[in-house]
Structure 1
Amino acid sequence: MRIVLGDYPRVRAVKDLPGHEFVEVKPLYAAFARMVRRLEFDVCELALATYLQARDSGVPVTLLPVVMIGGTHHRSLTRLPDAPALPPDGLRGRRVGVRSYSQTTGLWVRGLLREEYGVDAADVTWVTTEEPHVAQYTEPPYVERSDAASVADLLKAGDVAAAVLGPRAAGGQGAGLVPLIEDAEAAGRAWVERHGTVPVNHVVVVRDAVLEEDPEAVDEIYAALKAATADAEPPVGAGWSDELAKALEIGGRYAVEQELVRAPVDVAAIEEGAARWSE
């Protein structure tokens, strides 16, 4: 099988499995469009929002119950350090930069903005530098595309008042930026306590045709991922759980509210598809 996984220490042992081709893609998110548009890989790490949109568009992939990365995102809504203070509810009518409207970090940020500050996705103009991964998706009218090279450039040029750029943003773009949310770490912990789960960013999917033709090989990959993530901090790990179901339900609800998907996300159907790997 052709497999794409991020270069995490915990999965390096998985890449030692014989008989498979592990494809290195950097940055990792460059693999996502290749997967959902051309089914270029057999097993692929995928951003949650991309998975939800692919499923909504009928792309033939199945979710493996594996979370590769995740975490809270109150720290990911930022501004320049020398810019005036701007409370989150002050974003109504403003322009906010984000790499892509369908980026998963943006999904979680917009969700908390609506939930905690009453700011709907449509209250903001989202200025993007990249197109969605899923070709069938059409962005809502409150999304604009910029020819800027990066979201950080949008901030520096004053084209946006804030940006979805966390500490782990690609290329170090989030370095030195200031969170709009005061005590973002505490706010993130409160979100987790309130919802009983941790936001999921990257999952793993398998092509349906591969699952039908060689399920044992897929089982081998899943077992290796489960062993590799056994001691990881939530939400990273393998296996269906109430926490994963809650994250999918909340992320799916946010996706509907933000016009990322057309239909409500059927978490029970996703669980049924992953039943092969449930315990």
Structure 2
Amino acid sequence: MAKLDILLGDYPHTRPLKDGTLPVDGVECRFQTAKPLYSAFPRMVRDLEFDVCEMPVATFLQAREAGVPVTLLPVVLIGATHHGSLTRLPDSPALDPRRLAGKRIGVRSYGQTTGLWVRGILREDYGVHASEITWVTTEEAHVASYRDPTNVERWAGRNVAGLLRAGDVDAAVLGPRAIGTQGTPLVPVIENAEAAGRAWCERHGTVPANHLLVVRDDVLKTERDAVTALYRALAQAIADTAGQRGQATPAGRAVAAGWSDSLSNCLHTAARYALEQQVVRTPVDLVGIERGAEFLAD
């Protein structure tokens, strides 16, 4: 029986695989853990520690540019709109997103995927470019070889909400799952953020993905049947748990398996944003990425 070391977050659509309710045919799945989850991502892109691993979109794009031998599997594990992810303290002065040039914004890492989406939104919807803002980070990128742009500062040993409370930044980027978890109630900088996010999704024909799934190239070569079985089981789990997600919400619709116009639109938009922001320095080979998982259609 094939064996796979797998790192997945804890979601309704991953639990049936992790607790054995939905077995993966012919595969012994050895599920690994990491707390917080994002601590596993540098272990994957630097040391290839897992056979199959959840991975943020921006980390995957940087890993591809750095030559990390991983292949994307067409699974969106989590996603959401991010107009509400640019936040401020509730008692601080309101900020006009069109006038953020010259401001300081905190974000865990410049290569964080939520930051990628927020910077794309600011440029596209409000005319403010990433290069016009000082980005204050608390951690380095997951990909060791990546170097931040010159308008990025590193304040190690801090957390993003702490930077905001101390007045060291004017606003902070926190993903939907992080808002409210760092001891500070926060409010969106962008007014009517939910409606603005839905309008973005309609315009782009997609929901911003945060985490996808990758497999090591050598594992794909030697254990292709096992990887296919895992993918199909996960796709089944996503379908079976659709009722547990709010399908009327962008976050509920984001979770999906299989190549689709939505996933293609998401990757094209993320790749464009990444190049504009110097999250990557060379154009992303999207054709190569999509061809990488053609075996799943066999």
TM-score over 0.5 for the pair: yes
Deviations 1:121-162 (A, max 9, x none): 110000000110000111110000013420011001100000
Deviations 1:189-212 (A, max 9, x none): 100111111101000000000000
Please give the TM-score of this superposition, normalised by the length of structure 2: 0.91
Residue matched to 1:2: 5
SS at match of 1:13: helix
Q: Is the 8 A contact 1:78 1:166 kept in 2?
A: no
Q: Among 152, 156, 171, which residue is 1:162 paired with? A: 171
Q: Is the 8 A contact 1:239 1:278 kept in 2?
A: no
Quick check: 1:149 aligned with 2:163?
A: no
Residue matched to 1:185: 194
Q: Is the 8 A contact 1:75 1:181 kept in 2?
A: yes
Q: What CA distance in whole angstroms lies between the structure 1 residues aligned with 2:44 and 2:225? A: 21
Residue matched to 1:27: 36
SS at match of 2:41: helix
Residue matched to 1:194: 203
Aligned residues: 279
Residue matched to 1:129: 138
Residue 276 of structure 1: how far off its partner (Å): 1.3
Residue matched to 2:286: 267
Change (3 A) 1:143 1:185: same
Residue 266 of structure 1: how far off its partner (Å): 2.1
Residue 166 of structure 1: how far off its partner (Å): 3.9
Residue matched to 2:91: 82
Q: What CA distance in whole angstroms lies between the structure 2 residues aligned with 1:227 and 1:164? A: 33
Q: What CA distance in whole angstroms lies between the structure 2 residues aligned with 1:103 and 1:225? A: 25
Q: Is the 8 A contact 2:180 2:186 kept in 1?
A: no
Q: Among 43, 51, 59, which residue is 2:52 paired with? A: 43
Q: Is the 8 A contact 2:59 2:143 kept in 1?
A: yes
Q: Which amino acid letter does the alignment assign opposite residue 135 of structure 1? A: A
Quick check: 1:104 aligned with 2:113?
A: yes
Q: Which amino acid letter does the alignment assign opposite residue 128 of structure 2? A: V
Deviations 1:154-182 (A, max 9, x none): 00110000000244117713852111111
SS at match of 2:78: strand
Residue 272 of structure 1: how far off its partner (Å): 0.6
Residue matched to 1:12: 15
Q: Among 59, 70, 74, which residue is 1:65 paired with? A: 74
Q: Which contiguous aligned blocks of 4+ residues in structure 1 show a shift greater than 4 angstroms? A: none
Residue matched to 1:94: 103
Q: Is the 8 A contact 1:78 1:177 kept in 2?
A: yes
Please give the TM-score of this superposition, normalised by the length of structure 1: 0.97
Residue 32 of structure 1: how far off its partner (Å): 0.3
Q: Is the 8 A contact 2:61 2:271 kept in 1?
A: yes
Contiguous gaps of at least 5 residues in structure 2: 246-251
Residue matched to 2:261: 242
SS at match of 1:3: strand
Change (3 A) 1:41 1:170: farther
Q: What CA distance in whole angstroms lies between the structure 2 residues aligned with 1:185 and 1:251? A: 20
Q: Larger deviation: 4-13 or 62-71?
A: 4-13
Q: Which amino acid letter does the alignment assign opposite residue 92 of structure 1? A: A
Residue 57 of structure 1: how far off its partner (Å): 0.7
The CA RMSD over aligned residues, in Å, is 1.4
Q: What CA distance in whole angstroms lies between the structure 2 residues aligned with 1:50 and 1:137? A: 10
Change (3 A) 1:112 1:254: same
Q: Which amino acid letter does the alignment assign opposite residue 120 of structure 1? A: H
Q: What CA distance in whole angstroms lies between the structure 1 residues aligned with 2:287 and 2:175? A: 32
Q: Is the 8 A contact 2:179 2:186 kept in 1?
A: no
Among the aligned pairs, what percent are the same residue? 62
Change (3 A) 1:267 1:62: same
Q: What CA distance in whole angstroms lies between the structure 1 residues aligned with 2:187 and 2:155? A: 23
Contiguous gaps of at least 5 residues in structure 1: none
